[in-house]
Structure 1
Amino acid sequence: MIKPCALQEGDRIAVIAPAGSSDREKLQQGIRVLEKMGLKVTIGRHVFDVEENLAAADQKRLADLHEALFDPAIRGIFCANGGFGTARIAPMIDYAKIQRNPKIFWGYSDITYLLNAIQKFSDLVTFHGPMVASDLNDEIRTAETESSFLPLFTRESLTYDSRKMPLKTLTHGTGEGRLVGGNLDLLTNGLGTPFQVNTKGAILLIEEIAAPSFLINAMLTHLKQAGVFDEIEGVVIGYLQAEPGDYANVKGVLQDFFSCAPFPVVENFLIGHCKPNYGVPLGTNVKLTTSPPRLIIDSGVM
């Protein structure tokens, strides 16, 4: 896998919104955080556009993405927020050109589709991490969430264990491989398409927002029947947001589904739609252990 270059103070980055328009005030609050890190920020031309015509919106979102990807002055691209529709622009992206111009691409939620598409067709490490308007605004932002950006500058590897989050082992073992995955709904939607996640020899990350337990069960079953778990080395379960009355049911689904898995499974990672929200590079090598539960991640930048 190709690793993008680390960031330095004074670098210019772009903020775009490939999945939907952004809240102006929250975005500005998040941009101030990035500027305090020493970064110069360019905002995509269509970040605040609201389009009823989806085809028109696709072209604008694609234009912002391509402009940021291929501008030599831009060292990294950070998504403002999630939403929907990134799957629509995935077939239009120039992946070969991305491969020739590697740079940091960062987001999560609906951006999962692009994280995995870019990783798959450009051989580029991408980053599942907190977004500018969604996670760096004054109401949601935490010091731990902000700390997720530091390894982009320092090239440090990451270790997530029970000192940072209340990890729980569902199936014991040790697994090593590249980290892939993201939002469970988007991973399921990609099945049977050219953008289906490749989990052979990989550690799979899953997270979800506001999905009821029966739907999580259905999506996991769909992934299983599509062969996603056949040659996998482990599963990292991020935050699965649930209604209070359904929380125990979600935990029961996970226990039932993974109880006999022939690979390690650890849950409760604070990755995804949560506070704090820790970032991880996708495509880098990781090691998942269960005694104690721990995820060790190679640096995503060079």
Structure 2
Amino acid sequence: MDIIYPARLNPGDLIGITALASYADPVEMLRSTEYFTQMGLRVEIGQSLFREYGYLAGTDEERARELNDMFQNPEIKAIICARGGYGTARIADLLDYDCIKRNPKIFWGFSDITFLHQAIYKNTGLITFHGPMLSSLNNRSLHPLTLAGFQQLFSPIVMGYTEEISTLTSIVEGTASGAVVGGNLSLIVSSLGTPYEMDTRNKLLLIEEIREEPYRIDRMLRQLLQAGKLTEASGIIVGNFHACVPNTDQSSFTCEEVIDHYLKKANRPALAGFDIGHCSPNIAIPLGLEAELSTEKKTLLWKRAAVI
């Protein structure tokens, strides 16, 4: 598959904001757009931010049409997701992947957006970005590294993650290379058996999660192991597992113990402690782009810039 690199942003460019999963609080979302105007960008707000359909930001058809229209609109240079929640898998069949391939541009989000990162990458080869959404920017004490991640969209920066950002812990020793894929663990597992099933062969697999008890993490990692997704990966990047603790007084393994158990079974180079996911800072990274993971150096280094 040929890899497609999106074009970098320039001051004055127009970006589209869309809610592709759960509905968003429009007041909070609109407040967060100030960060983009401060970057010198113009903002177009999708109607999905003002829709509420059950737990979704509009019907599947409305949300898919909005994303298709934003990709087709030549004035929009980047698409930033407002929030995650639930619902992106429902629109994967409705996206115009030929249109996306003909009109490549920056696509940015995380959490439930994981399903669309994978669907777009699998059908087009477009490099996308796992990064903080508008819902992540509502915090008035926003960590500067969370905001700094957007700078990779304006210039051909070669991204890297070292212990200057956070302490990294080796689970399985070794060095591994490959395109970085993955994101939210629940969404990765939900893709199994679908046309959008994540291909981890010779890839660096990123996993992160929020508010799942250790036994549920166990169930998901066991399924990935039995499906061959952990053993086929060249290496594994363990992001933040926020609030993944038992919610009862019954005996339980810790989340860290569960992760160690399965990654040691997979026996692929694995490094934990990355501030990637539902955390502060939330470090933004490109997906689909070749990188190298080293447990000895405790680094994750990409091999080229994600934008052209």
Whether the 8 Å contact between 1:171 and 1:261 is mirrored in structure 2 is no
Residue of structure 1 equivalent to 2:289: 284
Q: 1:146-176 CA distances to partner (integer Å, 9 max, x unpaired)?
A: 0010011111011111110111110110000
TM-score, structure 1 normalization: 0.95
RMSD: 1.7
Structure 1 residue matching 2:193: 3-state secondary structure: coil
Q: CA 1:131–1:176 in 2, change beyond 3 Å: closer, same or farther?
A: same
TM-score, structure 2 normalization: 0.94
The unaligned stretches of length 5 or more in structure 2 are none
Residue of structure 2 equivalent to 1:299: 305
Q: Which residue of the other structure, out of 47, 55, 60, is the alignment partner of 1:58?
A: 60
Partners in 2 of 1:17 and 1:56 — Cα distance?
A: 9
Residue of structure 2 equivalent to 1:34: 36
Q: CA 1:138–1:250 in 2, change beyond 3 Å: closer, same or farther?
A: closer
Q: 1:158-200 CA distances to partner (integer Å, 9 max, x unpaired)?
A: 1111110111110110000100001000000000000001111
Aligned residue runs from structure 1 range 232-271, under 5 A? 232-243=233-244, 249-271=254-276
Structure 2 residue matching 1:46: 3-state secondary structure: helix
Whether the 8 Å contact between 2:245 and 2:254 is mirrored in structure 1 is no
Q: Which residue of the other structure, out of 107, 110, 129, is the alignment partner of 2:109?
A: 107
Partners in 2 of 1:51 and 1:227 — Cα distance?
A: 37
Quote the offset at 1:107 in angstroms: 0.4
Partners in 2 of 1:215 and 1:80 — Cα distance?
A: 27
Structure 2 residue matching 1:236: 3-state secondary structure: strand
Q: 1:95-122 CA distances to partner (integer Å, 9 max, x unpaired)?
A: 0111111000000111110011001101
Q: Which residue of the other structure, out of 81, 88, 91, is the alignment partner of 2:90?
A: 88
Aligned residue runs from structure 1 range 208-247, under 5 A? 208-243=209-244
Amino acid at match of 1:16: T
Amino acid at match of 2:211: A
Aligned residue runs from structure 1 range 66-81, under 5 A? 66-81=68-83
- Number of residue pairs matched by the alignment: 301
Partners in 2 of 1:129 and 1:197 — Cα distance?
A: 19
Partners in 2 of 1:252 and 1:230 — Cα distance?
A: 19
Q: CA 1:54–1:11 in 2, change beyond 3 Å: closer, same or farther?
A: closer
Structure 1 residue matching 2:48: 3-state secondary structure: coil
Residue of structure 2 equivalent to 1:148: 149
The unaligned stretches of length 5 or more in structure 1 are none
